[in-house]
Copies of this chain bind each other. A is one copy, B any other.
Amino acid sequence: MRRALLLLPILLLFAANSRAQQSIAERLGYPRDAKLLIVHADDLGMAHSVNVATTKAFETGLVNSGSIMAPCPWLSEIADYARKNPQADLGLHLTLTSEWTSFRWGPVSPRDRVSSLLDKDGYFYLTETEAAAHADPKEVEMEITAQIERARALGIQLTHLDSHMGTLYQNKALFEILLRVARRQKLPVRIAKTWFARTDFLSSILTPDDVYIDRVLDINPSVAPGDWSKFYSDAIKNLEPGVTEIVIHLAYDDAEMRGATFNHPDWGAAWRQRDFEFFTSDAFRKLLQENQVKLITWRELGRLIK
């Protein structure tokens, strides 16, 4: 008994060290050189067009994960989908911004209790920098917890968390809240090892018990529409071993999306249609096969959380 007690700290240290040395792929039970990919669609619940395009893409099996915006008007539609498709890998896209000027949303919490999160019109701020500059950390914690509770009350079985427009990665105080809430909820968070170099506070806050992936890829406005397929095809061909999440934005280039994004072509209606076309294509399916890329989900990553 006494000998066992003496050994315990040594065993725990060994376990922690071994976990720290294991890659996330190995912790998931794959070889270290496996190329593992999550194809993740953001912004579910935002608009009908987003919900329909994304759930249609889920049917192909090529897009296999997504995250939901609880403050948005079409939450009920995607919650209904989630209840009918409990196997779907759905997380919460924690939302503290309302970025379209014609079409807006605000908090799940009572407005007067999260006033630091609201612009003069009573909606979330338009940009992540304004949101981060004004946000009272206590109000952020209340609001993101309320978003999680609303999603769960609607029967959505959450597998992960991430942050719309990256607001919760804007500074250390916000990131600490995200991580505290995620640990409390036992949910993995979109965090990539490659971010440690550019964002110094990440590695200081994370512990070997936290689950994070190797890298996150996304397209950006500098890619011309005509180079869309080439960008993504090159990304798949050059995929490094480990766990990668490719973050995409699906919707149709229809009246609703054009109305929402009319003055904002970046992440706009045509952008989302291009993403939809590439990620539901046979060309994408073939690329995954030819490059030995295996799709995994946040649900598998979540199982690593004790």
List B contacts of A73 (CB < 8 A): 72-73, 103-105
Identical copies of this chain, number: 2
Q: Which of A29-37, A191-199, A253-261 contacts B (4 or more CB under 8 A)?
A: A253-261
Q: Say if the beta carbon of A109 comes within 8 Å of chain B.
A: yes
Scan A38-52; emit 1 where CB is below 8 A from any B CB, else 0: 000000000111011
Complex contact A154–B74 (CB within 8 A): no
Complex contact A80–B102 (CB within 8 A): yes
**Nearest chain B residue, comparing its CB with the CB of A81:** B102
User: When chains A and B are docked, how far (Å) is the Cα of A243 from the Cα of B109?
Assistant: 44
Tell me the minimal C-beta distance from A168 to chain B in angstroms: 22
Complex contact A76–B48 (CB within 8 A): no
Q: Which of A110-118, A200-208, A280-288 contacts B (4 or more CB under 8 A)?
A: A110-118
Complex contact B150–A122 (CB within 8 A): yes
**Nearest chain B residue, comparing its CB with the CB of A149:** B122
Complex contact B255–A48 (CB within 8 A): yes
Q: Say if the beta carbon of A266 comes within 8 Å of chain B.
A: no
**Nearest chain B residue, comparing its CB with the CB of A70:** B122
**A109-B108 in contact given A52-B259, A77-B103, A150-B122 (Cβ < 8 Å):** no
List B contacts of A109 (CB < 8 A): 111
